[in-house]
Amino acid sequence: MDAVVDLESIRAARTAIAGVVKRTPLITSLTLSGRQAGGEVVLKAENLQRTGSFKIRGAMNKVASLGSGAQRGVTTGSAGNHAQALAFAAAHFGVPCEIVVPVGAPINKIEACRSYGATVIEHGAALKEAVELSMEHARERGTTFCPPFDDVAVIAGQGTIGLELVDDIESLSCVVVPLGGGGLASGIAIAVKSLLPHVRVVGVQAAACAPYCGGAVADGPVLTLADGIAVKYPGEITGPLVSTWLDEIVSVDEDAIADAMVLLMDRAKLVSEGAGAVGVAALGAGLVRAAHDGVTCVVVSGGNVDLGLVPGLIRRRENQAGRRLSIFARIGDRPGALAQLLSVFADGGADLIEVEHLREGLDLHVRQTGIHATFAVRTREQATALVEAARRQGLDVSVEGPRSV
């Protein structure tokens, strides 16, 4: 493939990946539409794609573009969605695949790659070291290194989403898409704007790693929920394409990303990783406005979330909504004191989630014990009434966490 990404190369990619890549559904979001003073908002659910993200589109097209050159094998350095996508694509075409991941990469992602038949090597403390080793192996063994985004075949494959949006959405006016390395955003923008030049395309970065927004990114690991788009430098190919084809780029903070992930689970019944939810976060935070006329599409790019994060996200939302009450109480260290404390909250309709005795490191009388307790409640007003009721009975109760009662 020539070093050009255009409408024709994207159309060719659609043919190359047909029959393997899903045409993912569009889901109308009444919640987001209701929050916007504009038109309809729909979600492009790439989190329901094979291997759990849009990455399979670019990986399939890349391996297909190699022809007989793929027979010696493909390799990449990645700990995320690209690794799984390339392993799947290699299995489909029956070619060897080697994935190099950093030491300590999530075991579920390693096992996913192995389940597709890939050889997985753990090397280095950071992704950069894993990538360097994979490139070295490609040179030594004559295999093909497959970049995650900075490659014309990969970009064209990701751009097939844009063709689907044009085909499936009448009156398309705006597309909001996650922006990391730029392969997804530029591919979609080229496809959409080549056919519908009036459509606005907005890229969304995580504020913790937003080089396209001019933010300096420090060395070392980036702490963000949107690790899938935490790319520190624009690509040599994707950088100019993003600058040329996107209309606007914004960044969202971690709170907005967390809110968006829970909103997608709660209202749309979609599980999204942080990188996949940044478009929803931008609309929810008011950083991007839905089109006044026509349809705004938000691309939910992936669903491979670390399941260990989900309980914390839910607890955070419950705290914010006033449906969770955490207290600290000093009570007498005597039989029945804990039962008296808990009965106040039980009588008021609170459901005990957990309770813990705390004695070390606290300023307590020798005949006192500290109690940390968490309750499920229905409203902030109920929480306030429960704490006041406990205090009226002479109990020394204070509220823990971000809320004040």
> Is residue 55 flagged as an active site residue?
yes
Query: Would residue 405 count as lying in a domain?
Result: no
Query: Would residue 76 count as lying in a domain?
Result: yes
The per-residue pLDDT string of the chain (405 residues; one tens digit each, 9 = 90 and over) reads 446 899 999 999 999 999 999 999 999 988 888 765 567 999 999 999 999 999 999 999 999 999 998 899 999 998 789 999 999 999 999 999 999 998 888 788 899 999 999 999 999 887 788 889 999 999 999 999 999 999 999 999 999 999 999 999 999 999 999 999 999 999 999 999 999 999 999 999 999 999 999 877 777 778 899 999 999 889 999 999 999 999 999 999 999 999 999 999 999 999 999 999 999 999 999 999 999 899 999 999 999 998 888 888 988 888 887 889 999 999 998 899 999 999 999 999 999 999 998 877 677 887 889 999 999 999 989 999 999 999 999 999 999 754 333
Neighbour-count burial for 187-217, b at 16+ CB within 10 Å, e otherwise: bbbbbbbbeeeebbbbbbbbbbbbbbeeeee
37 lies in the same domain as 175: yes
278 lies in the same domain as 195: yes
Query: Would residue 318 count as lying in a domain?
Result: no
The model's pTM is 0.86
What 8-state DSSP symbol labels residue 12? H
pLDDT of residue 125: 82
Query: Would residue 163 count as lying in a domain?
Result: yes
127 lies in the same domain as 275: no
* Domain containing residue 62: CATH number: 3.40.50.1100
243 lies in the same domain as 291: yes
The amino acid occupying position 351 is D
Domain boundary among 263, 293, 312: 312
**Which segments of 94-126 does DSSP mark as H helices, in order?**
107-115
- The boundaries of the domain holding residue 307 are 7-53+155-312
327 lies in the same domain as 394: yes
Which one of the listed residues 29, 65, 272, 301 is annotated catalytic? 301
Domain boundary among 312, 344, 361: 312
Domain boundary among 103, 121, 145: 145
102 lies in the same domain as 244: no
220 lies in the same domain as 356: no
Q: Which runs of E-coded beta strand occur in 71-171?
A: 74-77, 97-101, 119-122, 144-145
pLDDT of residue 79: 76
* Domain containing residue 387: CATH number: 3.30.70.260
| Cβ neighbours of 256 (radius 10 Å) | 24
> Is residue 301 flagged as an active site residue?
yes
130 lies in the same domain as 172: no
Query: Would residue 351 count as lying in a domain?
Result: yes
Q: Which residue has the tokens 């040329």?
A: 244
Task: With CA atoms as reference, report the closest residue to 261 among 221, 213, 312.
Answer: 312
Is 368 in contact with 333 (CB distance < 8 Å)?
A: yes
Residues 318, 387: Cα–Cα separation, whole Å: 18
Report the first-to-last Cα separation within the chain, whole angstroms.
Answer: 63
Is 210 in contact with 251 (CB distance < 8 Å)?
A: yes
Residues 100, 135: Cα–Cα separation, whole Å: 10
83 lies in the same domain as 222: no
338 lies in the same domain as 374: yes
48 lies in the same domain as 60: no
Total structural domains within the chain: 3
Query: Cβ contacts of residue 365 below 8 Å, gap of 6+?
Result: none
29 lies in the same domain as 122: no
**Token duo for residue 4:** 């050009």
Query: Would residue 178 count as lying in a domain?
Result: yes
Which one of the listed residues 9, 29, 53, 55 is annotated catalytic? 55
Q: How many CA atoms lie within 13 A of 85 on its CB side?
A: 32
pLDDT of residue 176: 98
226 SS3 class:
coil
